[in-house]
Structure 1
């Protein structure tokens, strides 16, 4: 009996040790870190709007120059609890002003804080992991030019077991993947593949469109077999639409319709953008027309959700 108890205790300790090791926060490799460079703030501004940084980190209802005051505080009410967007201003005490570029890149691509904690995936690093080293450097350079905002945001309000931040390391092992979601367009007919690849980068990477438009499984991971096929809203009520080229999605829209919608906020039926998409559309309107055209080209040449590959 004592031997059996000892064996069980050893097995339990081994399992606990393995779980602890597997849940450890990860960082970029030395090779990836060496590709980082001090960036170009002018291009970083475009990355900033593509990434929708102000939508979460500026004050609720902010307009104009206030969109560049990134003091955080937005409360995101989800099935897992309430997440609060942090201060990412240039403030050295309360924001990210004391971070290095490598600190920033580890947060963006690995969901790991400078002090070695796992970030919750309410911060969409599962998409940002696909961003290029150049864009990360450019975005960081732009953020450093923005106003310093005093004050730390409130803590997240999460119940057990979601308040066990270390467990997110195991979650990241399952869901943090750097490769593209869609490997190639479903049609090459008259398609500008360079434009399509730019659209893929924007949608799957900094634009993080899949974080809202793709359904999630029981653990909160994206169901990539239903990529962009619509999902229940993660915050608030209602649903987020299918934006694949199906009858229920963008099937009836051509690429020019999509690009114009992202620029103006008007649909082909002369309806106007609403809900949380208002912020996204306003951000996309600040990008070059070629980027909106690239997004449209990508969305028109991905698999309809009903025939999405496994």
Structure 2
């Protein structure tokens, strides 16, 4: 009997060790990270607005220069609990001022904090994983030009079992994939390819517009890419933006680009809800990027 108990205990210890090994977050290889100090802050500003960093990391309803104070924004209240976006200003104590480019790249593209902790996918690193290493370096260079903001954001307030981070490493192994979502033919125009990169990568549009697997616990259901999803906060639905009758089927490419620039729909309605901030960010992009996004949205499968 004693031997049997010892054998069971040994198996449990082995299983626990195997779980911890499999659940550990995986970092980028050195070759997947640009050289320290190589980033271009001018181009980084373009990526800053593409990614909508202001929407989560600046105080709610900030305007003008206040948008560039990234000490943490409004809480994200979900059915799993409340998430607080961290301070990503260049403050050395409370922000990312003491981070290296490798620290930043691993957080952005692998969901791993500098101390090795796995990050919750409320931060859309599953999309940022598709960014080029040079773009990540450029964004980091731009963030370092912004004003330092003192004060750390509050900790997340999550219910059990979502407050246990150890399972996130396993989640990342299943759902973190840097490959493009939509396969495009070899002769696809460069504009559409650029749009795919912006939408699937830094723009992270799928994080809101695509339904999730396993009642919200899983990753994005890529078979229903951009077909609309339940809103992360409260009631409501994020709309279908595929070129189907249920989505943007009657919108032209020019209509979509114009909407991203001005906030006006083809029938003279105006942008509303959470999309207001997204549209304001997109309005700061060069026209060629908005047109590329529009071209891609007309090329994705209609669902």
Bin the TM-score by the shorter chain: over 0.9
TM norm structure 2: 0.96
Q: Distance in 2 between matches of 1:161 and 1:291?
A: 41
Decide whether aligned partners of structure 1 residues 34 and 256 sit closer, same or farther in structure 2, where only a CA change above 3 A counts: closer
- 1:167-210: per-residue Cα shift (whole Å, max 9, x none)? 1111101111010000116x97xxx6100000000000000000
Aligned residues: 301
* Structure 1 counterpart SS, 2:105: helix
- Give how far 1:9 is off: 2.1
- 1:245-292: per-residue Cα shift (whole Å, max 9, x none)? 110101111100000000000000100000000011001011110111
Q: Distance in 2 between matches of 1:95 and 1:273?
A: 32
Are the equivalent residues in 2 in contact too, given 1:38–1:101 (CA < 8 A)? Answer: no
- Aligned residue in 2 for 1:195: 191
* Structure 1 counterpart SS, 2:157: coil
Q: Distance in 2 between matches of 1:248 and 1:34?
A: 41
- Aligned residue in 2 for 1:308: none
Consecutive unaligned residues in structure 1, runs of 5 or more: 306-310
- Aligned residue in 2 for 1:135: 135
- Aligned residue in 1 for 2:163: 163
- Aligned residue in 1 for 2:46: 46
What are the within-5 Å matches in structure 2 for residues 85-164 of structure 1?
85-164=85-164
Measured on the aligned residues, the alpha-carbon RMSD in Å equals: 1.4
Are the equivalent residues in 2 in contact too, given 1:36–1:133 (CA < 8 A)? Answer: no
* Structure 2 counterpart SS, 1:268: coil
**Are 1:206 and 2:205 counterparts?**
no
Deviates more, 1:37-46 or 1:207-216: 37-46
Are the equivalent residues in 1 in contact too, given 2:127–2:204 (CA < 8 A)? Answer: yes
Are the equivalent residues in 2 in contact too, given 1:73–1:154 (CA < 8 A)? Answer: no
- Aligned residue in 1 for 2:225: 227
Are the equivalent residues in 2 in contact too, given 1:58–1:72 (CA < 8 A)? Answer: yes
- 1:32-57: per-residue Cα shift (whole Å, max 9, x none)? 12566521111100000000000000
- Give how far 1:31 is off: 1.5
Are the equivalent residues in 1 in contact too, given 2:209–2:241 (CA < 8 A)? Answer: yes
Consecutive unaligned residues in structure 2, runs of 5 or more: none
* Structure 1 counterpart SS, 2:130: coil
Q: Distance in 2 between matches of 1:97 and 1:220?
A: 32
Are the equivalent residues in 1 in contact too, given 2:55–2:73 (CA < 8 A)? Answer: no
